[in-house]
Amino acid sequence: MVDSSNGTLRVAVAGASGYAGGEVLRLLLEHPEYRRGRLEIGALTAGSNAGAPLGSLQPHLHPLAGRVLTATTVDELAGHDVVFLGLPHGQSAALANTLPESTVIIDCGADFRLHDAAAWQRWYGGEHAGTWPYGLPELGDNREQLRGARRIAVPGCYPTVASLALAPAFAAGLAEPNATVVAVSGTSGAGRKLDVGLLGSEVMGSARAYGIAGAHRHTPEIAQNLSAAAGTPVAVSFTPVLAPMPRGILATCTAPTTADLAEVRATYEKAYAAEPFVHLLPEGALPSTGAVLGSNAVTLQVAVDTDAGLLVVVGAIDNLTKGTAGAAVQSMNLAVGFDETAGLPTVGVAP
């Protein structure tokens, strides 16, 4: 448990006017520790939106409507036990380095996700800031590293679902190290960015690819996770597709296999049997993003295409919840000693 002076955890959110920050706040406001007064929402900071009331930017966060956003500075963020960062990439390191080591810093951005400095430079440019414990408790020994951690890198949304979809197969040696991921995403994954291509008039009724042939920055993060699971480098082809919905990722992930379906199912059942948020669906059922909307749930289905010699795993998450803020709160829970599942909806908002 974080040692806060008065037994109440004080939490700040930097980037509170963005989608990641807003979703962190949504979850915190319904968190049982907040409701019982043991978690307090402190500074809410923003970039160009500083000075505005939160209610004008995040009208769904009624209980905080009157709170005024302040500037994202070290001074504003100091004096908190936990600081969530929802900032453009490249901005987290400077802040993190000047906050006390005892502060739990949970970065929803990309700065501290990659191990490989060269990969960082190739995909993001600029100097690599370092690597922090990775907020995906379901993979490898991440859960152990997150308990009591003071610095946490929240995974990217696509890597979350793609990694959970394929890691068990690679870890069990059931697939060749060659993954193809085509993932359909809701538009909130692009952030609250003023871009003509993200206007409602443009996205509604239309699907489009973007960042094809390895152009998307989540490619090396997926490869890092799958290679760690496989114990050998896994080549990843990743194509993101924008679909006309605000939230959700539906990923179709394939890799060559000679395994049969029974073996694959047994492997996945075992891998996720104890996981509270990952659900291998019954045979015949298929994941939909609607069924996990607003929740921290991950749904998976596995299949083997024997004609094509491919393992096919389809996975669904809410990109803002399990894909970002849910993972952030789940990581906070582990870091400060709360119940891992506290404040994280397991039930989607459907229909």
Q: Is 88 a binder of a second copy (CB under 8 A)?
A: no
Q: Pick from 11, 12, 16, 22: which binds a second copy (CB under 8 A)?
A: 22
Q: Is 165 a binder of a second copy (CB under 8 A)?
A: no
Query: Closest distance between a second copy and the C-beta of residue 109, in Å?
Result: 18
In angstroms, rounded to a whole number, what is the distance separating the alpha carbons of residues 267 and 256? Answer: 16
Contact, 302 vs 268, CB < 8 A? yes
Q: What letter would DSSP give residue 245?
A: S
Residue with smaller CB distance to a second copy, 87 or 316: 316
Q: Which residue, among 139, 140, 122, 120, has the nearest Cα to 131 in the 3D structure?
A: 120
Q: Pick from 38, 143, 147, 192: which binds a second copy (CB under 8 A)?
A: 192
Q: What letter would DSSP give residue 210?
A: -
Tell me: cis bond preceding 59? Omega within 30 of 0 counts: no
Contact, 344 vs 275, CB < 8 A? no
Q: By CB under 8 A, how many residues form the interface with a second copy? A: 96
Residue with smaller CB distance to a second copy, 87 or 223: 223
Query: Closest distance between a second copy and the C-beta of residue 306, in Å?
Result: 8
Count of alpha carbons within 13 angstroms of residue 46, beta-carbon side: 21
Q: Is 38 a binder of a second copy (CB under 8 A)?
A: no
- Looking at residues 198 to 257 of the shown chain, list those that interact with a second copy (rule: CB under 8 A): 198-210, 212-214, 219, 235-237, 239, 241, 243-248, 250, 252, 254
Active site residue 157: yes
Residue with smaller CB distance to a second copy, 95 or 253: 253
Q: Is 301 a binder of a second copy (CB under 8 A)?
A: yes
Q: Is 60 a binder of a second copy (CB under 8 A)?
A: yes
Helix (H, G, I), strand (E, B) or coil at 136: coil
Tell whether the torsion through CA atoms of 156, 161, 167 and 170 is positive or negative. negative
Catalytic residue among 129, 157, 297, 336: 157
Cα-based torsion angle of the residue sequence 137, 157, 48, 121 in order, rounded to the nearest 10 degrees: 90
Piece of the chain touching a second copy by CB under 8 A; list 70-78, 133-141, 267-275, 308-316: 308-316
Residue with smaller CB distance to a second copy, 2 or 190: 190
Query: x/- string (CB under 8 A) for a second copy, residues 255-294?
Result: ------------------------x-xx--xxxxxxxxxx
In angstroms, rounded to a whole number, what is the distance separating the alpha carbons of residues 249 and 320? Answer: 10
In angstroms, rounded to a whole number, what is the distance separating the alpha carbons of residues 220 and 116? Answer: 9
Which residues have a catalytic role annotated? 157
